[in-house]
Amino acid sequence: MFPETLWYLLNVAIVFAQTRKQLSLNTVSSFNDSSTFTLPEASNLTVSVALCSSSSSARFFVTNTSADADNPGPDGGTDVYEISLNEGFGNFAGAFTNGGVLSADDASNVTFEVGVSESGPTHKISTDPPSLGDTTATQAIIFSPVFLEVSSEVPTYPNYSLPVANLSAPAVPSTSNNFSLIFSETSGSSPLASGLQTGCALQSQNSTGTIVNQTMWLPNEDGWRTQWIIDGLTPATNYTAYVIIDNTTVSGPIYFITKSESFSCPLLSNLPYCPGIAYAIPLAQPSSQSTYDSTNLPSEIAEPLISSLTNFTTTLTTFACGRDDYSPLVSCNDCQREYRRWLCTVSFPRCGEASSNNGAMVAANGAQKVFSALLSQPTTVTPRNSNFPSFNETYTALLPCLERCNAADRACPSFLGFRCPTAQFNALSSYGVGYIDSGVEGVEGRGSSGTAQDRYGNVWCNYG
Ligand SMILES: *[C@@H]1O[C@H](CO)[C@@H](O)[C@H](O)[C@H]1NC(C)=O
Ligand SMILES: *[C@@H]1O[C@H](CO)[C@@H](O)[C@H](O)[C@H]1NC(C)=O
Ligand SMILES: *[C@@H]1O[C@H](CO)[C@@H](O)[C@H](O)[C@H]1NC(C)=O
Ligand SMILES: *[C@@H]1O[C@H](CO)[C@@H](O)[C@H](O)[C@H]1NC(C)=O
Ligand SMILES: *[C@@H]1O[C@H](CO)[C@@H](O)[C@H](O)[C@H]1NC(C)=O
Ligand SMILES: *[C@@H]1O[C@H](CO)[C@@H](O)[C@H](O)[C@H]1NC(C)=O
Ligand SMILES: *[C@@H]1O[C@H](CO)[C@@H](O)[C@H](O)[C@H]1NC(C)=O
Ligand SMILES: *[C@@H]1O[C@H](CO)[C@@H](O)[C@H](O)[C@H]1NC(C)=O
Ligand SMILES: *[C@@H]1O[C@H](CO)[C@@H](O)[C@H](O)[C@H]1NC(C)=O
Ligand SMILES: *[C@@H]1O[C@H](CO)[C@@H](O)[C@H](O)[C@H]1NC(C)=O
Ligand SMILES: *[C@@H]1O[C@H](CO)[C@@H](O)[C@H](O)[C@H]1NC(C)=O
Ligand SMILES: *[C@@H]1O[C@H](CO)[C@@H](O)[C@H](O)[C@H]1NC(C)=O
């Protein structure tokens, strides 16, 4: 028979052994009850907590005194810290030279995750939001943040070769990524916008609509992104979207507006030779699939574009690229890239629409409303790109941003004679002027919106 005190101590030790769960380094675990956890030793440890369901009572306390310290709690003590939660997230970072203890109080009816990491918080909000390609009445193209950067190889003399005009899609990287897209109508009652912003909470919500295609895509030199095409959306509706990375990092929200029911332009994307194009174009609905890509875009449109880019590249390489510099900042490679992007943007007219909110936003510079660069295109107007068959319906074009043209102008040698219209000379009829940069020449980044589109669903001009 044990003496009573020893029995008591033994009992406490057994209770501890049963209820203190060991959390190991660089793991994420999910729980649904009030518990205490033993934290590993590390010189710089971050413990992060994410609520997966809402709770008004749950509180989290941590101590870094030692792995067999008393349970930390609201009474405080030496090196006892509360992990305060904001939108469901919280973390504590510090030295855990002897390990530590985490305690979840009043958490019996809540699901939560705990991440233990030596490289900053496991649960976090990314500073890099998803981005919108474009929408139709019921569809949208959404891009994740970059998951893999690319280092573009700059050709050098004597082997200064430029990419071919008819680029083929680059090999998809083998890097796996665990990105998921969550989207839902933006409304007061939407759990997406109103509730917890943690990955596990958002992932437990159902998206209203379906993902019809998911690809890894390299739209520009920034790097690889995941591209989603979604369908089954409600016309003329504001949507909220998030991308969840590895279940724990939340990118977003962004908002986007679907077009009205009468909007008749289909989406175009996934052209290897125009990788940045992901928007609605004035072309009859495709027959075999719901959007256009390189497999079903009419060759009467694709071939002249590639031919024109081939001819441009031929002319460009009459310059002693890589040997003589026409600029200390750019070379033929930059010129071809920017020219391609400009040519693609102007060759594929973009359909737009004034939304009820369009222009309601106050410009970054203060007072006035900013209206998008929309231009009505009656059926009688000859298409801007004469290789497009005439579109049998009146539509509204969203004009290219003038900055897209200026970028090509700046990157190319002057002997090519590439010139952009100026605000004084008719640029307004073919470009959106003064949105990103000021309309007054030479003033960069002082435009009315400061950007081609924002994360709230406003789109001012077509940046390609
Ligand atoms: C809590 O988690 C345990 C183990 O994962 C599971 O068996 C139990 O059903 C969960 N309870 C609730 C209320 O979700
Ligand atoms: C606990 O964390 C505090 C604050 O970060 C630090 O000053 C202290 O040295 C840590 N204690 C141990 C035992 O690591
Ligand atoms: C948890 O939920 C059960 C059933 O809904 C309820 O009886 C209990 O009081 C709740 N516990 C706490 C701590 O809120
Ligand atoms: C701890 O790690 C984080 C994330 O890696 C880092 O930002 C921070 O500077 C580190 N702190 C110390 C004291 O090393
Ligand atoms: C020139 O560069 C291209 C592409 O970078 C490469 O494929 C080719 O082998 C190179 N040619 C020579 C002669 O180095
Ligand atoms: C999501 O959909 C599934 C199946 O339709 C349903 O069982 C679940 O309750 C839904 N979840 C939410 C949060 O609406
Ligand atoms: C998704 O789109 C890409 C590019 O258009 C295409 O190659 C791929 O086959 C599509 N995937 C599915 C599952 O439809
Ligand atoms: C994300 O969660 C899913 C389902 O809970 C799980 O199967 C997957 O392994 C998790 N991924 C990562 C990277 O933790
Ligand atoms: C471009 O290349 C693809 C194959 O990569 C080919 O099918 C297509 O015909 C080419 N287009 C032109 C205009 O050369
Ligand atoms: C490219 O050059 C060829 C040969 O000079 C010419 O036949 C063709 O029409 C040009 N393409 C375009 C789009 O101008
Ligand atoms: C345009 O053509 C499509 C079929 O190509 C047809 O469904 C639609 O009604 C036509 N619109 C008008 C205004 O004629
Ligand atoms: C969409 O809804 C969000 C959240 O209410 C709002 O901030 C945004 O301005 C809306 N977008 C537009 C274009 O009205």
Question: Cα(286)–Cα(283) distance, rounded to whole angstroms?
Answer: 8
- State the first-to-last Cα distance of the chain, in angstroms, to the nearest integer: 83
In sequence order, the 6+-apart residues with CB closer than 8 A to the CB of 173 are: 148, 216, 224
b/e map of 441-462 (b: 16 or more CB within 10 Å)? eeeeeebbbbbbbbbebbbbbb
Amino acid at 37: F
Mean pLDDT of 330-339: 96
CA distances from 145 to 245, 253, 271 (A): 10, 12, 20
How many beta carbons lie within 10 A of that of residue 411, not counting itself? 23
Ligand with smallest separation from the Cα of 160:
5
Q: Strands of 224-354 (E only): list them.
A: 225-231, 238-245, 249-257, 267-268, 279-280, 351-352
Q: Is the CB of 178 under 6 A from ligand 4?
A: no
Are 333 and 319 in contact by the 8 Å Cβ rule? The answer is no
| Phi, psi angles (nearest 5°) of residue 311 | -65, -40
Q: Give pLDDT tens digits for 70-124.
A: 999 999 999 999 999 999 999 999 999 999 999 999 998 899 999 999 999 999 9
Q: How far is the CA of 230 from the centre of ligand 7 (A)?
A: 13
Q: Which of 78, 75, 48 is nearest to 63 (CA)?
A: 78
Q: Which ligand 8 atom sits closest to the C-alpha of 246?
A: 13
Is the pLDDT confidence value at 357 over 60?
A: no
Atom 7 in ligand 5: residue holding the nearest Cα: 161
pLDDT score for 191: 65
Atom 6 in ligand 8: residue holding the nearest Cα: 247
Q: Give pLDDT tens digits for 180-227.
A: 999 999 986 666 766 799 999 999 988 889 999 999 999 999 999 999
Q: Kindly state the DSSP code that residue 13 receives in the 8-state scheme.
A: H
Q: Give pLDDT tens digits for 8-51.
A: 544 444 445 457 999 999 999 999 988 999 999 999 999 999 99
Is the pLDDT confidence value at 66 over 90?
A: yes
| Phi, psi angles (nearest 5°) of residue 241 | -135, 145
Question: Cα(223)–Cα(152) distance, rounded to whole angstroms?
Answer: 10
Percent of the chain with pLDDT over 70: 91
List the 20-22 sheet strands across, edge first. 20-22, 36-39, 100-105, 59-63, 80-83
pLDDT score for 363: 46
How many beta carbons lie within 10 A of that of residue 118, not counting itself? 13
pLDDT score for 304: 97
Q: Give pLDDT tens digits for 359-369.
A: 444 444 444 67
Q: Which of 282, 255, 462, 280 is nearest to 372 (CA)?
A: 462
Model confidence, pTM:
0.90
In sequence order, the 6+-apart residues with CB closer than 8 A to the CB of 11 are: none
Question: Cα(136)–Cα(279) distance, rounded to whole angstroms?
Answer: 9
Q: Is the CB of 79 under 6 A from ligand 2?
A: yes
Q: Strands of 1-148 (E only): list them.
A: 20-22, 27-31, 36-39, 42-51, 59-63, 80-83, 89-96, 100-105, 112-117, 124-125, 131-135, 140-143
pLDDT score for 434: 86
Among 57-61, 103-107, 421-425, the minimum mean pLDDT is found in 421-425
Q: Is the CB of 95 under 6 A from ligand 4?
A: no
Q: Is the CB of 98 under 6 A from ligand 2?
A: yes
- Sign, CA torsion 118/119/124/130: negative
Question: Cα(136)–Cα(130) distance, rounded to whole angstroms?
Answer: 18
Which domains are seen in the chain, by residue range? 4-122 (2.60.120.380), 131-429 (no CATH)
Q: How far is the CA of 55 from the centre of ligand 3 (A)?
A: 11
pLDDT score for 442: 58
Q: Which of 270, 275, 257, 271 is nearest to 220 (CA)?
A: 275
Ligand 11 neighbours (beta carbon < 6 A): 284, 392-393
pLDDT score for 437: 87
Question: Cα(187)–Cα(210) distance, rounded to whole angstroms?
Answer: 19
State the DSSP string of 331-353. -HHHHHHHHHHHHHHHHS--EE-
Highest mean pLDDT among 138-142, 361-365, 425-429: 138-142
| Phi, psi angles (nearest 5°) of residue 218 | -115, 80
Q: Which ligand 3 atom sits closest to the C-alpha of 34?
A: 13
- Mean per-residue pLDDT of the chain: 90
- Sign, CA torsion 345/383/168/176: positive
358: three-class secondary structure by DSSP? coil
Mean pLDDT of 325-352: 95
Q: Where does the pLDDT of residue 341 fall: very low under 50, low under 70, confident under 90, or very high at 90 and above? A: very high
pLDDT score for 6: 52
pLDDT score for 369: 74
